[in-house]
Homo-oligomer: A and B are copies of this chain.
């Protein structure tokens, strides 16, 4: 690859240049920045461990010869300057982790991209377009209740700046205060400065573990999933309020138990999802908190967070509407106040850029890997990048489809195959 023409004869060279041991070491080292003990990883936006992980990523980018820059929300950019001043090829993912998650989700797409750059350097590739590795801020929704903060802000997603300015975490720390603590959003800085134009990137690709069992179930044949669309996620926050009281003293007819309202709604979420008629509809009550939470106290307040996804936006929105109706019915029947039913986000699904899908498909074929076109039901920063540039994703198998768990696992062989495929997509920068 002495030119930027991406000639197929040099694919084997790139394959040999990826340092699997070095990448494994970095994945393991990054996993040590965690609020919970190994093997679990918990890394929440703007906390001490998140800041340490950011420093680690910036150091890794610098050691790969990239020029590092951060924006006001904390997206980190490592750029390999191309020979021509033109739009940039982007790649990357996130390194934040929900409570008790694993070490591969997101991380593979950031450290893998940096390693791909190292490999491209080793084989003597000189980029014409600049290549940029992006570590997005808070892909996970843990701290402020909705995810992809960094990529949403880059894409200038409607209302995102106003929402962030008003956002509070569970300890009543505002988004602005949290960002400042971590060294971002400094006095005089404006969140709107994070937005980029549709001309900034010529394309974006994200390498990610599948987080489902499809590729693994294909057997040894298929190593690479090429994403043609990302399912449409919606997330809801629901609060019920009753009167509470002593678990011994208040007779059943006089109760309005917020915990039971929550329990019924969680069961109703599953029923409405199953009634959609499509295997592609999924719904989850991932958060269910009751207050005061004592064995001898009738629950007075309940807070639920619900996630509904589908590749079909209308079908998903119908499920959301049914959940809302159930919440109202339960509230009436149980005389429990439905204090709030907030649709936190309800994003449309994304189609991958055709050029990226084609490039990834042919790169995998050149490398001798079998690939499969598939849909991502998980949420990714690519969903928002697709609004401003042709975007695609490369999936690699993950053990039993386990993700968001401490035993999340992808083999180094699969990770390296993914890095090679991704690296080649970027090398094919002239294709577009």
Binding site for B on A (CB under 8 A): 98-101, 140-142, 145, 147, 210-213, 231, 233, 235, 243-254, 257, 259-260, 262-264, 266-267, 270, 273-274, 279-300, 305-307, 309, 376-379, 401-405
**With contact pairs A245-B404, A246-B212, A249-B403 given, residues A286 and B295 touching in the complex (Cβ less than 8 Å):** yes
**With contact pairs A246-B211, A249-B377, A403-B245 given, residues A287 and B282 touching in the complex (Cβ less than 8 Å):** no
Query: What are 11 A-B pairs at a CB distance below 8 A?
Result: A98-B294, A235-B295, A247-B286, A247-B404, A248-B379, A249-B401, A252-B270, A259-B285, A267-B267, A294-B404, A296-B307
| Most chain B CB neighbours (cut-off 10 Å) among A141, A249, A376, A402 | A249
Please give me the 4 A-B residue pairs with the lowest Cβ-Cβ distance, nearest first.
Answer: A212-B249, A248-B378, A247-B284, A263-B263
Q: Is the CB of B282 within 8 A of A295?
A: no
| Bound Cα distance from A40 to B289, whole angstroms | 19
**Chain B residues within an 8 Å CB radius of A246:** 211-212, 378, 403-404
| Bound Cα distance from A379 to B284, whole angstroms | 37
**With contact pairs A100-B291, A262-B263, A267-B260 given, residues A296 and B252 touching in the complex (Cβ less than 8 Å):** no
| Bound Cα distance from A404 to B246, whole angstroms | 6
**With contact pairs A260-B267, A404-B244 given, residues A282 and B147 touching in the complex (Cβ less than 8 Å):** no
**With contact pairs A250-B212, A295-B306 given, residues A284 and B267 touching in the complex (Cβ less than 8 Å):** no
**Chain B residues within an 8 Å CB radius of A244:** 402, 404-405
**With contact pairs A296-B147, A377-B248 given, residues A259 and B288 touching in the complex (Cβ less than 8 Å):** yes
Q: Is the CB of B402 within 8 A of A98?
A: no
Among B213, B231, B248, B377, which residue has its beta carbon within 8 angstroms of that of A282?
A: B248
Which residue of chain B has the shortest Cβ distance to A294 in the bound complex?
Answer: B98
Among B231, B287, B378, which residue has its beta carbon within 8 angstroms of that of A295?
A: B287
Among B253, B266, B378, which residue has its beta carbon within 8 angstroms of that of A249?
A: B378
**Chain B residues within an 8 Å CB radius of A401:** 245, 249-250, 254
| Bound Cα distance from A290 to B376, whole angstroms | 26
**Nearest-CB distance from A250 to chain B (Å)?**
6
**Chain B residues within an 8 Å CB radius of A293:** 99, 286-289
| Bound Cα distance from A379 to B100, whole angstroms | 37
Which residue of chain B has the shortest Cβ distance to A247 in the bound complex?
Answer: B284
Among B213, B279, B376, which residue has its beta carbon within 8 angstroms of that of A252?
A: B279
Among B211, B213, B267, B274, which residue has its beta carbon within 8 angstroms of that of A264?
A: B267
**Nearest-CB distance from A120 to chain B (Å)?**
30
Which residue of chain B has the shortest Cβ distance to A214 in the bound complex?
Answer: B249
Among B147, B254, B266, which residue has its beta carbon within 8 angstroms of that of A259?
A: B266
Q: Is the CB of A294 within 8 A of B248?
A: no
| Bound Cα distance from A236 to B287, whole angstroms | 23
**Chain B residues within an 8 Å CB radius of A273:** 252
**Chain B residues within an 8 Å CB radius of A210:** 249
| Bound Cα distance from A377 to B254, whole angstroms | 14
**Nearest-CB distance from A275 to chain B (Å)?**
11
| Most chain B CB neighbours (cut-off 10 Å) among A266, A296, A404 | A296
**Chain B residues within an 8 Å CB radius of A378:** 246, 248-249
| Bound Cα distance from A115 to B294, whole angstroms | 31
Q: Is the CB of B286 within 8 A of A98?
A: no
**Chain B residues within an 8 Å CB radius of A142:** 294
Q: Is the CB of A285 within 8 A of B263?
A: yes
| Bound Cα distance from A380 to B246, whole angstroms | 12
**Chain B residues within an 8 Å CB radius of A283:** 252
**Nearest-CB distance from A178 to chain B (Å)?**
18
**Chain B residues within an 8 Å CB radius of A140:** 294, 296
Among B99, B213, B243, B296, which residue has its beta carbon within 8 angstroms of that of A379?
A: B296
**Chain B residues within an 8 Å CB radius of A251:** 212, 279-280, 282, 377
**Chain B residues within an 8 Å CB radius of A307:** 247-248, 295-296
Q: Is the CB of B296 within 8 A of A141?
A: yes
**Chain B residues within an 8 Å CB radius of A260:** 266-267, 270, 285
**Chain B residues within an 8 Å CB radius of A263:** 262-264, 266-267, 285, 288
